[in-house]
Structures are given as structure tokens and as C-alpha cells.
Amino acid sequence: MADVEIITGAGVDLLTAPSWDTFAASEGTAFHTSRFLLPWWRDRLAKNPTSSLIAAEILDSESVIGICAFEFDSGVLSFAGGRDVVDYMGPLALPGREKDVAAALAEWMFEDLPWTRASFAGLVCDDVMAQAFADELARRTQAVTVETYDQAPRIGPAPDGYLPLLNSKRRADVLRKRNRLTEAVGELEVIASTGETVLDSLERLLTWKCDAGPATRDFVAEYRGFLRAALVELAAVDAGHIVELRASGRPLAAAIILKHRNTDYIYNMSYDLAFASRDNAGLAPGIVLVSLLVERSLDRGAVFDFLKGAQDYKLRLGGKPVDLIDITVER
């Protein structure tokens, strides 16, 4: 720790520095990049002007070994990113430097910030950095609780491809759904948005979500602006798309797909409820689309991450749940 120092800054200066995204690109997730965090922060600040963004870089001999972004509001310290829209949050570190990064962050937190409560969600239970951070907080105070609050199913690389990964019953179910949909509507196409079409495709997806019920309608009303801003940023670097399932040119289902390093994340999805009406009851365009997206990801050697929420369809499609934890500290 002798040569380790922490540099912090209120506002977006550190997030917009090239070193931030360089580090996030090599060690983080899509949610750690400035192209995701900055739209989130602009949306958050517009809704809650009393909040502050604090970014931190941890250095050793002027080389960055870790980063973390925080939100500070009314005495509460949390990771930047709200639970409603950000799945993975928290510190990143170079492999082997997790304890140094955790110690530097904890020292800064306890000595330099006037928080009364800290709530750190978005941590993956088996992540080395998350464990080092939890251990360092527990070393400094007994007023620490660690709880599992959700799960994020994933499918890792599959050398033999997607369908052989499933048991015979699940594989037959996926193929049956694909075949039934093809028989009903004809040839299926999977089309990814471009920078020019991403917003139109997003609006179609959000309209379908509004049709699904009051809860999703409220979500869209709350976060439509954020989603539009984030997708524009991500699409500009080929890191975010709306992928649609179409037949005869008609969109049937759509998903927001984020790409980062060797992982494809399905951030949100919906389907045309008007299509899945009485005449087409039993067809499952949403499940068909997701199964095709999983297959495409695994075929190119990527990990497919369903993100938080261990819904049954994610498990039936092969997702293996990973616990997400929340660390709470009182003082």
C-alpha cells in the first residue's frame, strides 16, 4: 500500500477521462463504462439535484490499478447506478490488486466522507474484488451486513454450441417453439439496429412494454429518456443494439443487447402483444428471439448474461443463477 494513492473528483471529469474507459474496457462490464454511467447520471441528477457523483481512481506509481464511481446523497453513500437500471456496480481492480484497491477505497470512505449509511448493491458474490471490498469494510467496522438480493442467470462458453447444452426436454421445447412460430408466420429474421434506426426500434420495444401492464408502463415513463440517451451512446461504438425478430418484414419481438468484452447482455426485451393475441395464442416470439440470441452468442464464443431476475424462462433456456449481493454499513 505504500505507493498506492487514490484520486477522487466530484462531477464527471474522471468519468470522461480516457483512462476511465480504458480500464473499464479491460476489467469491467458494460455498466462501468462512461457511455452507460454518464446518461444514467444526467438522468439521476435531473430527478434528484441534491445528489453528487464522485469518481475514484486508485493508482500505483501513476498506473491505474482500480476505479469506482459513487453517488452521495443526504448522507447515504452508494455505487453510481440505480438498482432499477444498472445491474453490475462497484469497484474494478487489476487482477491481483483487489486488496490494495479495497483498502484504498475503504480508507478514503471512512476518513474523508461524512456519510452516515452506505448501501452497496450490484456486486457479484463470487467476484474477487467484491469479496475483497466486503472483507475490508468488515475489518473496519462490525456494523456491516451482506445480503443476497437477486440473481443474474448466465450461460458460459459452450464448445459444442447452445442446443447440446440443454437437456433433451428443454432442447425439444426450444425447437418446438421455433418450428411453431415459423409454421405460423414463415421465415424468421433476426435484425440488429444501426445508429440510424436504434431509436425507432427502441420506441417500438417500449410501446410493447407499455402495453404489458401498469408496472412496465410506469418503468417506461420513468426511464424512457435515460434509455434513449444510453442507447445512442452505446450504438455509436457498436456496444448497444435493439435486436428484432421479424417475419415478412413485421417485427414480432425485440431485445436490448449490450456488448462488452466477451459478454452479451440482454438488458430488456418485449414482444408484440397484438400479434400474440387469440389467433396466435401459444406462440412465443419473445422466447424464440432470446433462444436465437443465446445461440448466436455461444456460437461466437461469448458469454450470455440474462442480467438480474431469475425468471423461469431464463432458467429453462439454460441460465445458471449467480447471486448479487448488497453490502450495508452503518455508522
Is residue 311 situated within a structural domain?
no
Assess whether 163 and 254 both reside in one domain: yes
Cβ-contact 30, 239 below 8 angstroms: yes
Segment 146-174 shows an average pLDDT of 96
- Is pLDDT of 1 > 60? no
- Is pLDDT of 279 > 80? no
What is each CA distance from 33 to 65, 102, 152, 234, 316, in whole angstroms? Answer: 16, 20, 19, 10, 31
Is residue 318 situated within a structural domain?
no
- Between 128-140 and 98-112, two packed helices, what is the crossing angle to 10 degrees? 40
In the chain, how many domains are there?
2
Cβ-contact 229, 39 below 8 angstroms: yes
Residue range 261-275, pLDDT digits in tens: 999 999 999 999 989
CATH of the domain at 64: 3.40.630.30
Cβ-contact 289, 254 below 8 angstroms: yes
Separation between Cα atoms, residue 147 and residue 326, nearest integer Å: 5
Assess whether 102 and 118 both reside in one domain: yes
Question: By 3-state DSSP, what share of the chain in percent is helix, strand and coil, each rounded to 5?
Answer: 40, 30, 30
Q: Which phi and psi (to 5°) does residue 166 adopt?
A: -85, 150
Assess whether 97 and 174 both reside in one domain: no
Residue range 65-85, pLDDT digits in tens: 999 999 999 999 999 998 899
Cell 445491474, residue located? 87
**Selection from 149, 112, 136, 85 nearest residue 329 by Cα:** 136
Assess whether 126 and 164 both reside in one domain: no
**Selection from 196, 218, 191 nearest residue 206 by Cα:** 218
Assess whether 195 and 127 both reside in one domain: no
Separation between Cα atoms, residue 211 and residue 108, nearest integer Å: 47
Assess whether 122 and 177 both reside in one domain: no
Assess whether 146 and 160 both reside in one domain: no
pLDDT value at residue 276: 79
Assess whether 102 and 213 both reside in one domain: no
Residue range 202-236, pLDDT digits in tens: 999 999 999 999 999 999 999 999 999 999 999 99
Is residue 313 situated within a structural domain?
no
Assess whether 58 and 104 both reside in one domain: yes
Is residue 312 situated within a structural domain?
no
- Enclosing domain of residue 62: 4-151+324-330
